[in-house]
Amino acid sequence: MERMFLWALFFVLFSFCVSSGKETEPPLEMEHLTSELLESARTPEFFDWLVRSRRKLHENPELSFQEFETSEFIRTELESLGVNFTWPIAKTGIVASIGSGAQPWFALRADMDALPIQEMVEWEHKSKNDGKMHACGHDVHVTMLLGAAKLLQQRRNELKGTVKLVFQPGEEGAAGAYHMLKEGALDKFQGIFGLHVAPDLPIGTIGSRAGPFMAGSGRFLATIQGSGGHAAMPHKAKDPVLAMSLAIISLQHIISRETDPLESRVITVGFVKGGQAGNVIPETVTFGGTFRSMTVEGLSYLQQRIKEVIEFQSAVHQCNATVDFMEEKSRAYPATVNDEALYSHAKKVGEHLLGGESNVRLLPMFMAAEDFSFYAQKMPAAFFMIGAKNESMKSGIQLHSPYIVLDEKVLPVGSALHAAVAISYLDGQSVRSN
């Protein structure tokens, strides 16, 4: 009996050691993969190419669906790397393919468009297009994905499937992702990963969260029609300025008095336009803004109430109102919801690449919107922020500012992270299928 017990104990211990050894193999492989990719991306030659690419893109910003030269630059770089691609998609978009062409297909995405902002940072590579600027870091996003293309192409024969590189137009309010999907450019994909620069996170860190991460967002444009007149005789006019003023105030009551304080919703009026003379009551005024929620239901409710409040307040002041939600021109964005399994995968890759859990932050939900959300509705998706802050450069200014500065040391980090997430995802799918 004693001998049988000892043999049983030996067998249990042996089985534990063997199983433990198997569990340590993937982390060791991941450690090797991430360090190798990051070292490659940080070599002087590779880094110089990334910086040149980013600066060329930064000098030539183009607005949504006008990214013709940006698209041409990307295609030229892909051709020089020997990467096949499909173009045009949604006017200027590109989907490149690296690997065998066989399933599974895993996508990496970068947006290409700039903003109608005049750059105020004086430096050698300042925007050459007046009134246009890469104030949201899309030049960095494109460069990081080109860097990933180079890393992946060097390993194309080792990929256990296919990596798709999605260079997408029109993210800044134009729903470029929706149009890419509408044209069938991302059919049959198993997953997608995206990065966005974060000027408030230090270089060498990333952050995100599972589940709802960024808000859904819609826009509205309201026109109030009254009856103009002399400012000295307001009783003979129907004042649309007064109606607009009270409508704007009432919109905030939707948030403060109709919304659960524990639920995240926002209504912001961003502009108003009225008359031009101080002694004239104008006939019409216009104003507009954005509304945001973390849920589809919340977004729908806000849209309904915005229309009702503006129309009713206008009627109280004997004016007429129309509210346009611009659903074709400026399609509402759904909330960005990260798939839990893909989020966990990217988080694990980031921990190995960046040297530990402390460099992968759990970020709070926030009310900015991203059209990456359209991809997340169609397939498992994970969207992460990547740090681009450097105190010595006085960076840290928020996105969409004419004074934003981003540390270019983020370029190799993002390139390697993209590539590592894709390669290890395909490896994992291959293991599961076997």
| pLDDT tens profile 131-170 | 999 999 999 999 999 999 999 999 999 999 999 999 999 9
| pLDDT tens profile 161-200 | 999 999 999 999 899 999 999 999 999 999 999 999 999 9
273 Cβ contact partners less than 8 Å away, ≥ 6 residues apart: 285, 286, 287
Counting every residue written for the chain, the total comes to 434
| pLDDT tens profile 214-234 | 999 999 999 999 999 999 999
Mean pLDDT of the chain: 92
User: How many angstroms separate the most distant Cα atoms in the chain?
Assistant: 110
List beta partners, residue 72: none
Beta-sheet pairing, 105-111 with 284-293: unpaired
- Residue 408 labelled as part of a binding site: no
What pLDDT does 321 receive?
A: 97
Query: Which tokens in the block code for residue 268?
Result: 């912001």
- Residue 72 labelled as part of a binding site: no
For residue 107, what is the enclosing H or E element? strand 105-111
List beta partners, residue 218: 291
Count CA within 13 A, CB hemisphere, residue 66. 11
Q: How far apart are CA 75 and CA 80, in angstroms?
A: 9
Domains of the chain: 27-214+335-433 (3.40.630.10), 216-324 (3.30.70.360)
At 392, is the pLDDT very low, low, confident or very high (cuts 50, 70, 90)?
Answer: confident
Q: How far apart are CA 422 and CA 151, in angstroms?
A: 11
Cβ atoms 220, 324 nearer than 8 A: yes
| pLDDT tens profile 318-365 | 999 999 998 877 789 999 999 999 999 999 999 999 999 999 999 999
At 431, is the pLDDT very low, low, confident or very high (cuts 50, 70, 90)?
Answer: low
Q: How far apart are CA 386 and CA 196, in angstroms?
A: 6
CA angle at residue 157 from 156 to 158, to 5 degrees? Answer: 90
Count CA within 13 A, CB hemisphere, residue 277. 10
SS3 163: strand
- Residue 196 labelled as part of a binding site: yes
Residue 393 pLDDT exceeds 80: no
Burial of residue 425 (number of CB atoms within 10 Å: 0-12, 13-18, 19+) = buried
Cβ atoms 121, 394 nearer than 8 A: no
Q: How far apart are CA 69 and CA 313, in angstroms?
A: 47
Query: Which tokens in the block code for residue 406?
Result: 């981003």
- Residue 172 labelled as part of a binding site: yes
User: What is the average per-residue pLDDT within 29-34?
Assistant: 89
Give backbone dihedrals phi and psi of 26, rounded to 5 degrees, phi first.
-60, -45
Q: Cα–Cα distances in Å, from 198 out to 110, 115, 260?
A: 14, 17, 29
Choose between 247 and 393: higher pLDDT: 247
* End-to-end CA gap in the chain: 41
Complete DSSP assignment for 41-104? HTSHHHHHHHHHHHHHHHHS---TT--HHHHHHHHHHHHHHT-EEEEEETTTEEEEEEE-SPSP
Cis status, amide bond into 104, omega within 30 of 0: yes
What pLDDT does 27 receive?
A: 57
- Residue 400 labelled as part of a binding site: yes
User: Taken in order 171, 174, 178, 179, is the CA torsion positive or negative?
Assistant: negative
What pLDDT does 374 receive?
A: 97
Cis status, amide bond into 261, omega within 30 of 0: no
Q: Cα–Cα distances in Å, from 53 out to 35, 85, 111, 272, 419?
A: 23, 19, 15, 39, 18
User: What is the average per-residue pLDDT within 269-291?
Assistant: 95
| pLDDT tens profile 240-278 | 999 999 999 999 999 999 999 999 999 999 999 999 999
Q: How far apart are CA 44 and CA 41, in angstroms?
A: 8
